Amino acid sequence: MKKFDYHDASIFKIEHRLKENILIIGIHQDTNTIDLIFEDIVGWDFSSFAYQNFLLDLKTYAHNDVPQVIIEDYLVDTKYIELMRLKKAFLFELNPASGMGGYIIAQAMRHG
């Protein structure tokens, strides 16, 4: 399976399914359109959704390996940090080239 390159992918949707506790981020690049499905959500914080929302990258950090600069840059709420460590969850960083960026704290991410 080819690894998806998130560089210059366009975010075109955000969907929160409360009952399933999942967050779906729809991205499009070239001819590929996929949903990034984040499962067992702890929390998230995004900048404003804009007309153009392009990613530089999507990075994943384990609960015990989040760089302090990421916590400081995104002002990650301490309750999210505590829950992330308690649940051994991950921080997924949506690093924007333009438009929306931010982070999601969840147990897992998969392509849908």
- Give pLDDT tens digits for 76-104: 999 999 999 999 999 999 999 999 999 99
In a domain, 3, yes or no: no
**pTM of the entire predicted model:** 0.92
What span, in angstroms and rounded, lies between the C-alpha atoms of 67 and 25? 24
Could you give the number of structural domains in the chain?
Answer: 1
In a domain, 77, yes or no: yes
Place of tokens 């302090």: 68
Average pLDDT of 2-12? 82
Residue 9: both structure tokens together: 């992918």
For 9-68, what is each residue's pLDDT tens digit?
999 999 999 999 999 999 998 888 999 999 999 999 999 999 999 999 999 999 999 999
In a domain, 4, yes or no: no
Domain that holds residue 53: 10-111
